[in-house]
Amino acid sequence: MTKYRLHYFNARGYAEVTRDMFHMAGVHFEDVRYELEDWIKEGSTTKETMPFGQMPVLEVDGEKIPQSAAIARFVANELGFAGKSPVEKAWADAFADLYKDFLNEMKPWAMIAFGYPGQSGDRGELKKTVLDPARKKYFKLLSKTLEKSKSGFLLDSGICYADLMFFETTTSLIGFESGFLGTDFPAVTEYFKRIGEHPKLKPYLETRPVQPK
């Protein structure tokens, strides 16, 4: 049996989508969590053991795979969350790329809101000029896709790793901006509710550690 070890900080962040899929598939993995203080402390050699000197990293029978998107895509293909046909797999990847576009567009706001050192700017102003326009743009695109979906998710065959990407980030954003989800995109609101209540995901969501801020 394949042995999986997922290395990441003691937070959701870039590893949570992969954790979601392991739990949904009922596949055992070792959830190796690191405290940031231990990662950056003088004399620590942990970074040197990671292929690119960063995390998350997924070990598959001892082989270390870096980069969150590569890890999520690999696990999705292994566990059945990447689409059922070549065309669906391409669409899953396209939605994952769309998700990365969303992250890039909201980044100036996120750098301030999440407290990254050395950043300057007014959070409230950046919400209006950066976060809100990005939200509107991508929620429109999600709504358009969901209107045509046969499953209620991005792919007609059912939930995929890209659904989880949008869900996890939106869940985190609601923690920073309580009104982020809003009421102007009802299809998107129902979509995220559907993901959160997915019978294979809900038990994990109800028991996972509280997200540190």
Q: Please tell me the chain's helix, strand, coil percentages from 3-state DSSP, rounded to the nearest 5.
A: 55, 10, 35
Query: What CATH number is associated with residue 60?
Result: 3.40.30.10
Domain-embedded: residue 207: no
pLDDT at 192 over 50: yes
Domain-embedded: residue 183: yes
Query: What CATH number is associated with residue 128?
Result: 1.20.1050.10
- 56, 14 Cβ separation under 8 angstroms: yes
Same domain for 178 and 97?
yes
Domain-embedded: residue 206: no
Same domain for 101 and 64?
no
**First CA to last CA across the chain, in angstroms?**
36
Q: What is the pLDDT of residue 211?
A: 67
Question: How far apart are the C-alpha atoms of 172 and 168, rounded to whole Å?
Answer: 6
Same domain for 76 and 112?
no
Same domain for 96 and 189?
yes
User: Whole-number mean pLDDT of the chain?
Assistant: 95
Q: Is 110 left (phi over 0), alpha (psi -120 to 50) or beta?
A: alpha
Same domain for 18 and 71?
yes
Same domain for 64 and 127?
no
Domain-embedded: residue 203: no
Domain span holding position 100: 86-196
| Dihedral, CA of residue 73, residue 162, residue 194 and residue 181, to nearest 10 | 140
Same domain for 98 and 187?
yes
pLDDT at 212 over 70: no
Q: Output the CA–CA distances (angstroms, integers) from residue 140 to 49, 146, 195, 206, in the order listed.
A: 42, 10, 18, 29
Same domain for 29 and 98?
no
Domain-embedded: residue 212: no
Q: What is the pLDDT of residue 213?
A: 47
Longest dimension (CA), the chain: 54
Same domain for 184 and 135?
yes
Same domain for 104 and 143?
yes
> Domains in the chain: how many in total?
2
pLDDT at 43 over 80: no
Q: What is the pLDDT of residues 125-158, one digit of tens each?
A: 999 999 999 999 999 999 999 999 999 999 999 9
Domain-embedded: residue 63: yes
pLDDT at 37 over 90: no
Q: What is the DSSP string of 18-78?
A: HHHHHHHHT---EEEEE-HHHHHSTT--TGGGSTTS-S-EEEETTEEEE-HHHHHHHHHHH
Question: How far apart are the C-alpha atoms of 105 and 121, rounded to whole Å?
Answer: 16
Same domain for 70 and 162?
no
